[in-house]
Amino acid sequence: MVLPHPLPLVPAPVSAVAREGRMPITATTRVLGSSPATAQLIAAVERRTGIRLSVVDEAPAEIELIVDPNSSAPEGYTLEVGDRAIIVGADEAGLFYGVQTLLQLLRQDDSGWALLGADVADSPRFARRGVMLDVARHFFGVADVKKFIDSTSALKLNHLHLHLSDDQGWRVHIDSWPLLTERAAATSANGDPGGFYTKDDYREIVAYAASRHMVVIPEIDLPGHTHAIGVAYPELVEAPVLNDNLIADSARLGQPLPVAGETYLGWGVGHSSVRIHEERTYDFVRDVVRELVEMTPGPYIHIGGDESLGTPQADFDLFAERATAIVVEAGKTPVAWHEMGSAANIAEGTVGQYWGKTTPEGTHAEEAAHFVERGGALIMSAADVTYLDMKYSPDFPLGLTWAAIIDVRAAYEWEPTAVLDVPDSAILGVEAPLWSETTRTYRDVEQLVFPRAAAQAEVAWSPQEGPERVWESFRVRLGTLAPLWKAEGVEFHAAAEIPWSER
């Protein structure tokens, strides 16, 4: 298929028409607008070009930023670039996304810096467009998380799921259970350094995300993936259950097996569980949820629920019912991995996160559908297309392969509403998780996340049947992001199937 060269925009807008000509950007270019997006635009242009735009309080101005609630759907915007550039956002989020589109139109040629002429009208397909960062297997500090927020919100992703606890470590301070960070935060997988967020750190992340129109979803993984809790409070956690797969994988990887009360340095799963029938366990859950709620303005608290292989089903069901109820009592909407859908009485309205494959296996589809039956909805994180920790190719140095090998095209060519037999209206949107077993540095994270996060962003934002919503168009448009990512210091993987631009 041969397509005309599209405007260099990712994700593809609802409507985008190129205009003839370019609008020069120089040191005399003025910006009119009182939104926070104005300062963000000026800072981004300066990082990219070295040119510092000036702000004016009244017309005339070459670039104008406006909020008009009647102009578009929520988070939507219109953008015109001719002799002047005018962005009209339906709300502050829409204006922010219009600025991200404008920055993608900023190009350098032999005449200097300029904006490509364009008429754009745009709004998102799905309201929920997310990424997940696992800071438990390997810890990433506040500065790294902020950079992650910058790079992903620029793709119009609007939810950040932080996986704050796992067998390897507990990563956020809880006043009522202080030993969690005193005893269970010092290390990461393979014995690498650990760390944790103070409450001020966590609030700083939440506020920074909000400034980029991202909602933070904190996750405390329960009742499994809880070995680290037992390092701090042994009375809360059962002895490890050593299944055959865990023993075999630990031997293959040269990793130690989990030992009760000792820091776990491997990354095997399914061996840990909190004590389901101890009332103190629910005191713990209630306290942790309460303290997270106090710091989290967004509507969600994620309570895990995956891979509880050592927990009897009846015990798992009891825990799922009580834990989801605790979140509701605290005034938030519970989110859980799809396995919690096996519990008959999860709290009504609980949101499920489906991490099974695009062709569901076992009972995964039924478990996911149960959230919808209980008045909830679903987030699609199909592991064989969205998991950012899978390898691009068999010989790629980072990542795992258990779900699939996911090149950029595989990450792009899937449809969130086609996986499960539920109404399209039950799909809230898409989330792309980055599990951090193999990512020892933030550079490693960026190599796995970019460019595939751009594929997931287009799946989540762009119209399903849009004219540019095909691989041959996407690969060309994706390649044009290279100069912008380089200017922002994003260490993306230059996948061979993408024609990367120089400028």
Same structural domain, 379 and 318: yes
Count other C-beta atoms under 10 Å from residue 261's C-beta: 13
DSSP 55-72: EESSS--SEEEEE-TTSS
Dihedral Cα 471, 476, 477, 480, nearest 10 deg? 150
Asked which of 122, 150, 167 is the last residue of a domain, the reply is: 122
Going residue by residue through the chain, which has 503 residues, state the pLDDT in tens, using 9 for 90 and above.
333 457 999 999 999 999 999 999 999 999 999 999 999 999 999 999 999 999 999 999 999 999 999 999 999 999 999 999 999 999 999 999 999 999 999 999 999 999 999 999 999 999 999 999 999 999 999 999 999 999 999 999 999 999 999 999 999 999 999 999 999 999 999 999 999 999 999 999 999 999 999 999 999 999 999 999 999 999 999 999 999 999 999 999 999 999 999 999 999 999 999 999 999 999 999 999 999 999 999 999 999 999 999 899 999 999 999 999 999 999 999 999 999 999 999 999 999 999 999 999 999 999 999 999 999 999 999 999 999 999 999 999 999 999 999 999 999 999 999 999 999 999 999 999 999 999 999 999 999 999 999 999 999 999 999 899 999 999 999 999 999 999 999 999 999 999 999 98
Task: Indicate which residue of 80, 92, 307, 366 is catalytic.
Answer: 307
Using left for φ > 0, alpha for ψ between -120 and 50, and beta otherwise, residue 293 falls in alpha
Asked which of 122, 148, 181 is the last residue of a domain, the reply is: 122
Give the per-residue pLDDT at 5.
Answer: 53
Contact 157, 127 (CB under 8 A): no
Asked which of 54, 89, 122 is the last residue of a domain, the reply is: 122
Q: Does 485 fall in a domain?
A: no
SS3 170: strand
Give the per-residue pLDDT at 3.
Answer: 38
Q: Does 241 fall in a domain?
A: yes
Q: Tokens in use for 352?
A: 């499920």
Q: Does 499 fall in a domain?
A: no
Element spanning 434, H or E: strand 427-434
Give the per-residue pLDDT at 503.
Answer: 86
Same structural domain, 232 and 338: yes
SS3 390: strand
**Of 388, 394, 501, 500, which Cα lies nearest the Cα of 450?**
388
- Cis bond before residue 234 (omega within 30° of 0): no
Number of domains in the chain: 2
Same structural domain, 265 and 414: yes
Question: CA 455 to CA 411: how far, in whole Å?
Answer: 6
> Residue 1 class from Cβ within 10 Å (0-12 exposed, 13-18 middle, 19+ buried)?
exposed
Q: Does 161 fall in a domain?
A: yes
**Of 48, 95, 109, 39, which Cα lies nearest the Cα of 67?**
95
The residue written with tokens 């190009």 in the block is 107
Same structural domain, 46 and 167: no
Give the per-residue pLDDT at 205.
Answer: 99
Same structural domain, 113 and 133: no
b (16+ CB within 10 A) / e for 444-456:
bbbbbbbbbbbbb
Question: CA 236 to CA 262: how far, in whole Å?
Answer: 14
**Of 362, 404, 360, 391, which Cα lies nearest the Cα of 378?**
360
Question: CA 320 to CA 367: how far, in whole Å?
Answer: 13
> What are the angstrom distances between the C-alpha of 483 and each of 81, 144, 154, 219, 480?
20, 21, 14, 34, 7
Q: Does 274 fall in a domain?
A: yes
The residue written with tokens 């005449």 in the block is 111
Same structural domain, 176 and 252: yes
Question: CA 450 to CA 6: how far, in whole Å?
Answer: 21
Domain residues for the domain of 169 are 128-464
> Is residue 472 among the annotated active site residues?
no
Q: Which CATH number characterizes residue 308's domain?
A: 3.20.20.80
Provide the strand spans (E) within 183-342: 215-222, 300-304, 333-337
Same structural domain, 75 and 219: no
Give the per-residue pLDDT at 2.
Answer: 35
Q: Does 226 fall in a domain?
A: yes
Q: Tokens in use for 57?
A: 């309080």
Same structural domain, 115 and 134: no
Same structural domain, 311 and 234: yes
Question: CA 162 to CA 88: how far, in whole Å?
Answer: 32
Q: Tokens in use for 137?
A: 């297997």
pTM: 0.97
Same structural domain, 111 and 187: no
Dihedral Cα 242, 244, 246, 250, nearest 10 deg? 110
Helix/strand/coil percent split, the chain, to 5: 35, 20, 45
